[in-house]
Amino acid sequence: MKITHTEGESNQSAARKAWAAKHPDAATRDLLARDSDAFLHQSLSSPCVSTIAKAEGIWIEDTAGRRYMDFHGNSVHHIGYGHPRLIAAIKAQLDTLPFAPRRFTNEPAVELAEKLGAISPGDLNKVLFTTGGSDANEVALKIARAATGRFKTISFWDAFHGAGFGAASVGGEATFRSHIAGPLMTGAEHVAPFNCYRCPYNHAGPQSCGLACAGMVDYVLGREGDVAAVIAEPMRAVPVVPPPEFWQAVRAACNRHGALLIMDEIPTGLGKTGRMFAFEHDDVIPDIVTLGKALGGGILPIAAVIARQGLDVCGDFAIGHYTHEKNPVTARAALTTLQIIEDEGLVERSAALGSYALNRLQEFSSRSPFIGDVRGRGLMFGVEIVEDRATKREAPDRAERIYYRCLEAGLSFKISAGCVLTLSPPLTIAQVDLDRALSIVETAILAEA
């Protein structure tokens, strides 16, 4: 389990000290100490809050045998951990073809590229693989520069697109930008993110507020005049759902000003929001889509860039050129993951269970004055914890106490934006386990009364 956003800011919080005091077993202490000694320390990662010795289905287990439902999973565990069909496919591929050097193609890689083109809407059908989402976003930016002859971008403050220099430049989280000495990538313009839940100017309702934010994108596109691309998360993983017609307005603005639209679907794609791609909720088709995280089935690292046919313009130079660009084992893992998602109806399952969970939490919210909002799509939803419902003042300390109560009861998730309990279970979760997890959250919140 990784440190939550809140924990990264307050490593010595009272809640964390209380948690550590309750679990002083030698195995956990020893591994955490070795981790702290061996790894470079960084926010949101090392040192860690606990250990993992086993992961199976929706469950993770620590070195002391404590088990937790994992509602975080770094967004990789759409099909659960250790899906037997995926493990069998990886083992078979290892026996057949474990690696392919660059400039040699292979059946699993080609089949995966064809499959991604087949499931993507419109003419999104030209593909390139990378080993991680940050690299995929940087490839997308290179394609946009090559296709438009421009270098500027527009993205959103608070967004996350990866930890590389280019990805961090278009990203908007301070954690991934403030430590870098000297300039980031030039031409990376930022605008305020859509977040009608927290916007001080939202007096006329989400639609009016959201379209005002979309209007800012249009304004900057027009003012700059030479922007290559707008890159954005179709639904922010905080989570924040875009206002109605927001992406249609941004898509139209990109068309007017000759800019491409890049959708970063790395945490939200492959059915997490109840559609194969989150942007499908908003009736738009981007020019480039990036995928990652869950694409490797929670076992192997692989990401992908999917561009529309007309953007295949980089043949004379390398835009990726990764050692594992067409790795047959990671390709087989991704292809099998897509097949499992389709064969088990996990996109539809995400939509149905997500709707059930949101309805239950929204009904429950009236019972607690500390819930400011419940929001999400599919099996990516969040509960905003506040000081009181009237002012909706954020309550990070309260959110952290609730988090540790849930962890003690066997549920792991993360806190986003300081005070949002962000719940993202596998798409394979049984409804009885989902109900159990929701009851844990509700009981932990009621304990604040």
What mean pLDDT is predicted for residues 132-149?
A: 97
pLDDT for residue 386: 96
pLDDT digits (tens, 9 = 90+) for 285-312: 999 999 999 999 999 999 999 999 999 9
Pair 2, 73: CB distance under 8 Å: no
Distance CA 64, CA 33 (A): 15
Please say if the pLDDT value at position 90 is more than 70. Answer: yes
| CATH of 84-343 given 3.30.1360.150, 2.60.34.10, 3.90.1150.10, 3.40.640.10 | 3.40.640.10
Domain boundaries, the chain: 5-79+346-446, 84-343
- Token readout for 69 is 């439902």
Tokens 């800019």 map to which residue? 259
The structural architecture, per CATH, of the domain 5-79+346-446 is Alpha-Beta Complex (3.90)
For residue 148, which of 208, 227, 203, 88 has the smallest C-alpha distance?
Answer: 227
Q: Which residue has the higher pLDDT, 200 or 372?
A: 372
Tell me which of 12-16, 124-128, 394-398 is least confident.
Answer: 12-16
For the chain, the average pLDDT equals: 91
Higher pLDDT, 238 or 70: 70
Residue 362, amino acid: Q
Question: Angle between the 396-408 and 431-446 helix axes, to the nearest 10 degrees?
Answer: 130
**β-strands 303-308, 124-130: how paired?**
antiparallel
Pairing, β 303-308 against β 54-56: unpaired
Which tens digits make up the pLDDT trace of 46-75? 888 888 999 999 999 998 899 999 999 999
- Global pTM value: 0.93
Identify the bridge partners of residue 374 per DSSP, sorted by sequence position.
Answer: 383
- CA distances from residue 148 to 153, 313, 315 in whole angstroms, order as listed: 11, 10, 15
Banded pLDDT at 102 (limits 50, 70, 90)? confident
pLDDT band, very low/low/confident/very high, at 10 (cuts 50, 70, 90): very low
**Model confidence at 109, in pLDDT bands (50, 70, 90)?**
very high
Q: What is the maximum alpha-carbon separation in the chain?
A: 64
The b/e string for 359-389 (b: 16+ C-beta within 10 A; e otherwise) is ebbeebbeebebbbbbbbbbbbbbbbbbbee
- 158 backbone φψ class: left, alpha, beta (φ>0; ψ -120 to 50): left
